[in-house]
Amino acid sequence: MKLALRKMLHNLSALTDLGAEISSTHNFEEVMRASLHTLLGSLAIPRGAIAQFSARPRMLKIMAARGLPGAIGGHILLGREEVKRLALHGRPLEVAAEQNGLSHFVQRNGDILKRMRAHTFVPMVVHGGLEGVIFLSEKFTKEPFTEDDTELINTISRHIGMAFYNHRLLASLRRKAEENRKLYQDMRQMYQDTIKAFGAAIDLKDTYTKGHSDRVARYSEAIAREMGITGTDLEYIEVAGYLHDIGKIVVDRSIINNPRPLTDREFQELNRHVTTGYEILSNINHPWKEIAYMTKCHHEKVDGTGYPQGLRGDEIPLGSKIVTLADSFDAMMTDRPYRSRLPLDRALSDMHRNAGKQFASEVVAAFCRLLLKEINGTSRDRVFIPVIGLKFDREAISSTLTSMIEELD
């Protein structure tokens, strides 16, 4: 085989190895080390180093070195003018040459260049910007670099320079993505806090229902989770729990806190809170649309006797069915202006009686499963225990829940 052809094949092979290395998923220092090896090995150069340019402070940081113990991590400080000159060249330069306009740089860094036995340095320039510099010693044979050698050095340096550029770009994108992620997290937290604040504001209108919205949200979220609901659907249901009574903001406080049975007019006024809530929430953009409708339907009943639309069965969103049960359970378990809280067995009996009428059976079943797990201690969560307390017949309640689950599941 002719020497020229052999050389060409050897160079092609080196470029292939370099391409594979640069596009690999190895860490960047490893990629640079292999790239330097490829360049040195392709021309039998025993020593060399690859240095990355940093603009602040202006310097070259040695990232990979061969035949130069202790060189990695070393710095070469650069002047503003030197950066410009290096960026202008972008091709191999002999350290000893006077005409490249970098004699000051060579003089100032004489010691380190001597230690590196640098004979040639190659500024790596991408889109007019300096990415780094490659330092090379003489060839092992001490022969001068030929024109072909210089071309190969140029080609490999361009590839390595591009790898630096892409690496920097990727690092910058990663930084930005992380900033956006944090921003999103902050906004999300703010959104959640705002919703909780709304819930607390609603509850302030009613002296008896302090913490009601917060509890309904927690119960709704737990029941939905028990039913296998995840992700944004789960989140929406929790938010609907917080905001289900938002329409009460416009209902007269005297009606809400009235200890006597309400008149028809007062009932009409109170019942308006679901449509008012819907009007408030539906004016807010994504992700509130589904939530608005969920709150509107939280007084619908599966047998069609609820309000405001008299929807039945599957016409009612599942989230609303869950909030309905959570709302009713909390109402039964807390004192109201018109009655004291109900004992747990009575509340369960009420739910049992109304499963398939007021409440969706599958939601009642999920609630019973969850409550049974808490009572039995098979669940670490304490969603219902804080409100039901510990003064109940554990055995009897467990038995009731078990039979309800068997019947409704």
* DSSP classification of residue 315: G
Contact residues for other proteins (CB under 8 A)?
1, 3, 6-7, 10, 13-14, 17, 34, 36-46, 66-67, 139-141, 143
State which residue, 69 or 128, has the beta carbon closest to other proteins: 69
Strand bridging mode 59-66 / 129-136: unpaired
Give me the least distance between CB of 3 and other proteins, in Å please: 6
Tokens of 232: 């944004």
One DSSP character per residue, 106-132 reads HHHTHHHHHHTT--EEEEEEETTEEEE
Give me the least distance between CB of 141 and other proteins, in Å please: 4
Question: Which residue, among 157, 151, 155, has the nearest Cα to 121 in the 3D structure?
Answer: 157
State which residue, 38 or 220, has the beta carbon closest to other proteins: 38
Give me the least distance between CB of 89 and other proteins, in Å please: 25
* DSSP classification of residue 94: E
Measure CA of the first residue to CA of the last residue in the chain; give whole Å.
82
State which residue, 51 or 251, has the beta carbon closest to other proteins: 51
State which residue, 14 or 347, has the beta carbon closest to other proteins: 14
State which residue, 71 or 243, has the beta carbon closest to other proteins: 71
Give me the least distance between CB of 48 and other proteins, in Å please: 9
State which residue, 26 or 210, has the beta carbon closest to other proteins: 26
Give me the least distance between CB of 47 and other proteins, in Å please: 9
In what helix (H) or strand (E) does residue 21 lie, and over which residues does it extend? helix 3-22
Helix 318-332, helix 289-296: angle, nearest 10: 50
State which residue, 20 or 204, has the beta carbon closest to other proteins: 20
State which residue, 64 or 323, has the beta carbon closest to other proteins: 64
3 state DSSP class of 360: coil
Give me the least distance between CB of 166 and other proteins, in Å please: 21
CB 372 within 8 A of CB 402: yes
Four-residue CA torsion sign, 128, 134, 138, 141: negative
Give me the least distance between CB of 71 and other proteins, in Å please: 14
Tokens of 182: 């944090």
CB 288 within 8 A of CB 281: yes
Give me the least distance between CB of 142 and other proteins, in Å please: 9
Q: Phi/psi at 378 (nearest 5 deg)?
A: -80, -10
Measured CA to CA, the distance from residue 188 to residue 190 in angstroms comes to 5
